[in-house]
Amino acid sequence: MQPMNVDLSGQSALVTGAGRGIGRAIGSALASAGARVFLAARTTDQLESAAREIQQDGGTAVPVPTDLSNEEDIRLLFQRISDRTGGLDILVNNAGVGVFGPLAEFSSSDFDRVMRVNTKATFLCCQQAMRLMIPKRKGYIINISSVVGFKGYPNQAAYTASKHAVMGLTKSLAVEAQEHGIRVSAVLPGGVDTKMIAEARPDLDPKILLQPEDIAHTVLYLLSLSDRAAVDQIYIRRRGSQPF
């Protein structure tokens, strides 16, 4: 899948949450553009299936089963990448979980789980990536946030809090990373046809939703820009939904 002229040959990329949905589509798109892609997620069979698809299409993919809620797993993930490539050019933080329900009935353990995967893992992956990118004075970090990174919906308090936090992290890191030649952007999708949206918004007809490939194309667009351009965030919504 390569909808535009993007050449990532010789570059290494990591995509988290890469076993299915948006992450799987992003991994495929980066590999089609020539990147050597490391695929991280917890479910081994999904990762291996995603890697096989890429390899069958002539791309290079390395599945790395990783529990993104575990700090040591994240450290080992980046150590493996460093050992194999000597660095990292692109990080796409896509891994996320959604637990939904009325705030008054929401458990603190579910809140902690959502924040641990969606926010803390993003922080830790950004930290590890910066340590690999700073010495080379280049790199691109793309955080997949959500429309709930700036809007609110009922029964989504924990998920919304986690994505607001991702936006705060992204905004601060974008300023901090500039002096090292590293760009940082956020992509904020509206409704995408994934298992998570089916759980969060069962009222939405899948036929009207964005597809994971739409988000992958957006990531490729960011990577196609010249070094002169810096994009802070892209909000991509389904056509027919209310803007902002």
Domain boundaries, the chain: 15-236
Sheet with 36-41: strands ordered across: 60-65, 36-41, 12-16, 90-93, 139-144, 182-189, 233-236
Q: Which two tokens stand for residue 226?
A: 């010249």
The pLDDT score that the predictor gives to residue 2 is 44
**Mean pLDDT, to the nearest integer, of 183-188?**
97
Please confirm, yes or no, whether 153 is among the known catalytic residues: no
Mean per-residue pLDDT for 138-154?
93
Q: Report pLDDT digits (tens) over 40-95.
A: 999 999 999 999 999 999 999 999 999 999 999 999 999 999 999 999 999 999 99
Amino acid at 52: R
Report the percentage of the chain scoring pLDDT > 90.
Answer: 80
Of 135-139, 220-224, 233-237, which range is least confident? 233-237
Catalytic choice (140, 159, 221, 235): 159
Q: Greater confidence, 208 or 97? A: 97
The secondary structure of 167-178 as a DSSP string is: HHHHHHHHHHHH
Distance set, CA 64 to CA 47, 52, 128, 148, 218 (Å): 8, 13, 16, 29, 24
Report whether pLDDT(1) > 50.
no
Q: What number of other Cβ atoms are within 10 A of residue 226's Cβ? A: 5
Lookup result for tokens 């990174």: 149
Confidence category of residue 177, pLDDT binned at 50, 70, 90: very high
- The helix (run of H) or strand (run of E) holding residue 90 is strand 90-93
Provide the pLDDT for residue 148.
84
CB 94 within 8 A of CB 146: no
> Residue 73 corresponds to which amino acid?
D
- Asked if the 15-236 domain carries CATH number 3.40.710.10, the reply is no
Tell the residue number behind the tokens 């992509």, with chain if given.
Answer: 187
In the structure, what pLDDT confidence band is assigned to residue 199 with cuts at 50, 70 and 90?
Answer: low
- pLDDT for 75 equals 98
